[in-house]
Amino acid sequence: MYEWSDEHLMLQEAVRRFVDEEIRPHVKELEHGELPPYDILRKLFSTFGMDAMARARFEKQMARERGEVSDDDSSAGSSRSGFDAGMTLIPIIELCRVCPGMVTAMGVSMGLTGAAVMSKGTTAQKERWGLDLLTMDKIGSWAITEPDSGSDAFGSMRSTARRHGDEYILNGSKTFITNGPYADTIVFICKLDEGNPPEERSVLTFVLDAGTPGLVQSKPLRKMGMHSSPTGELSLTDVRVGRDHLLGETEQRQSRSGAKDTFTMERTGVAAMALGIVQECLELCVTYAKERVQFGQPIGDFQLIQLKLAEMEVARLNLENLVFRQIEMSRDGKSMDLTAASATKLYAARAAMEVTLEAVQLHGGNGYMSEFRVEQLCRDAKVLQIYAGTDEIQVSQIARNLLAESA
């Protein structure tokens, strides 16, 4: 694949029109935290039938699990081979041109929290929590990061679960949790405390409901960027839950493996986010270079400005090719492994940051002002180098895999 299809371009035009009408007029409110993004996202889902499609896929999966159809029944949609990921990536790209934080909020709720329930939960748990997360009827958060554990998420994890009869008692604190302040459903990752040292404890995952006694959700934290993605802290003090809240209802699940699958999905998605940011910056810079006059001529006539624009276009093409690769793999029913996802995220995050910084520089003093869009996009892009594993973590993952292959 080397270009968008006619169907892709039709969807792109429709989503772009939605963004122009429903999101751009509210950017200031989203940026100032006055307007949570969820109602707009629900309208996006209903406008393009994304909620109906999610509901249909959910019902097919549940039908298979209940044994109502066989696994090889093609009408049940048992295979993702032939799936056109472009139809899901295009809305991400278009949203990121204006409010990348909205994609983060949507992705964590539906893509991480919902996916965790749907991939690791029992049939009863999927029916209880899964559908509402996939349709955005309810908001989800995926709670792994703690005040003292960022990149070392498992090694430094101190949140615990202790058995107490037929229940578990949960304690701990989580921070930098996307959707944390508004989440209806929380996937909480912790360690089983059996009196053994923290480094020897197994990892468990629980699904919690907002309002559970002992669970406190903070107000939104103030951040550098991604203001349209509410982020908060969670505090659990002697939260009691039954075994039905333990994801999979078994302590034998490999939660570390599940978290790695989630990281793979999250890192792969950064390419589409970066592409949206870079496309918007490039268009803004081209327009500004044509209209801004200095020394009696448009600044686009100067070779140094032309160099910046050319390098932005190279980054855009590279990011687009990464997105095309994802689409091709999805059509073959394949997905990236963790190392390929890390390489994708490393390049995409760096490209977005480099382009947005150059966009600010090209705009000069205007680029430093909040009235000009490149200022917001630069702030938003920075977190791509931090969440889902920092650039340094991606480098380590890639290098470890290369060295292991050559050993």
Q: pLDDT tens digit string along 222-270? A: 999 999 999 999 999 999 999 999 999 998 755 566 666 777 888 999 9
Q: What is the CA radius of gyration of the chain?
A: 22
Which domain does 53 fall in, by range? 6-137
Residues 212 and 262 in one domain: no
Joined tokens for residue 123: 């049939």
For residue 88, give every residue at least 6 positions away whose Cβ sits within 8 Å of its Cβ, in sequence order, or none. none
Q: How far is CA 16 from CA 10, 20, 142, 352, in A?
A: 10, 6, 29, 20
Residues 131 and 170 in one domain: no
CA 122 to CA 269: how far, in whole Å? 26
Residues 84 and 146 in one domain: no
Asked if residue 1 is part of any domain, the answer here is no
Asked if residue 185 is part of any domain, the answer here is yes
Residues 107 and 186 in one domain: no
CA dihedral 347, 352, 357, 358 (to 10 degrees): 90
CA 286 to CA 105: how far, in whole Å? 30
Which of 225, 253, 281 marks a domain boundary? 253
Residues 274 and 376 in one domain: yes
Which has the closest alpha carbon to 264: 370, 129, 115, 400?
115
**Catalytic: 266?**
yes
Does 116 score more than 70 pLDDT? Answer: yes
Which has the closest alpha carbon to 251: 303, 203, 188?
203
Asked if residue 331 is part of any domain, the answer here is yes
Per-residue model confidence as pLDDT tens digits over 60-82: 999 999 888 765 554 444 445 56
Which run of H or E residues covers position 394? helix 391-406
Which of 253, 276, 306 marks a domain boundary? 253
CA 172 to CA 150: how far, in whole Å? 15
Q: Beta strand pairing status for 160-164 and 185-192?
A: parallel
Average of per-residue pLDDT values in the chain: 92
Joined tokens for residue 37: 């993004």
279-295: buried (b, 16+ CB within 10 Å) or exposed (e) per residue? bbbbebbeebbeebeee
Per-residue model confidence as pLDDT tens digits over 164-212: 999 999 999 999 999 999 999 999 999 999 999 988 899 999 999 999 9
DSSP-derived 3-state class of residue 331:
helix
372 sits in the region (left: phi over 0; alpha: psi -120 to 50; else beta) called beta
Residues 183 and 131 in one domain: no
Per-residue model confidence as pLDDT tens digits over 46-60: 999 999 999 999 999
For residue 90, the tally of other CB atoms under 10 A from its CB is: 26
Asked if residue 314 is part of any domain, the answer here is yes
Query: What is the CATH number for 87?
Result: 1.10.540.10
Higher pLDDT, 309 or 152: 309
- What is the reported pLDDT for 233? 98
Q: How far is CA 98 from CA 284, 304, 323, in A?
A: 12, 27, 19
Asked if residue 43 is part of any domain, the answer here is yes
Going 229 to 121 to 192 to 267, the CA torsion angle's sign is negative
CB 89, CB 368: distance < 8 Å: no
Residues 288 and 402 in one domain: yes
Residues 198 and 326 in one domain: no
Query: What is the CATH number for 309?
Result: 1.20.140.10
- What is the reported pLDDT for 35? 95
Residues 312 and 234 in one domain: no
Residues 271 and 391 in one domain: yes
Per-residue model confidence as pLDDT tens digits over 188-198: 999 999 999 98
Q: What is the mean pLDDT of residues 303-330?
A: 96
Residues 260 and 327 in one domain: yes
Report how many domains make up the chain: 3
Task: Write down the catalytic residue from 94, 266, 358, 375.
Answer: 266
Angle at 315 between CA 312 and CA 318, to 5 degrees: 150
Asked if residue 120 is part of any domain, the answer here is yes
DSSP-derived 3-state class of residue 266:
helix
CA 170 to CA 163: how far, in whole Å? 9
CB 45, CB 51: distance < 8 Å: yes
Q: How far is CA 380 from its chain centroid? A: 13
Asked if residue 210 is part of any domain, the answer here is yes
Q: What is the mean pLDDT of residues 133-155?
A: 90
CB 346, CB 389: distance < 8 Å: no
Which of 102, 137, 172 marks a domain boundary? 137
Residues 393 and 260 in one domain: yes
Q: What is the pTM of this model?
A: 0.90
Query: What is the CATH number for 150?
Result: 2.40.110.10
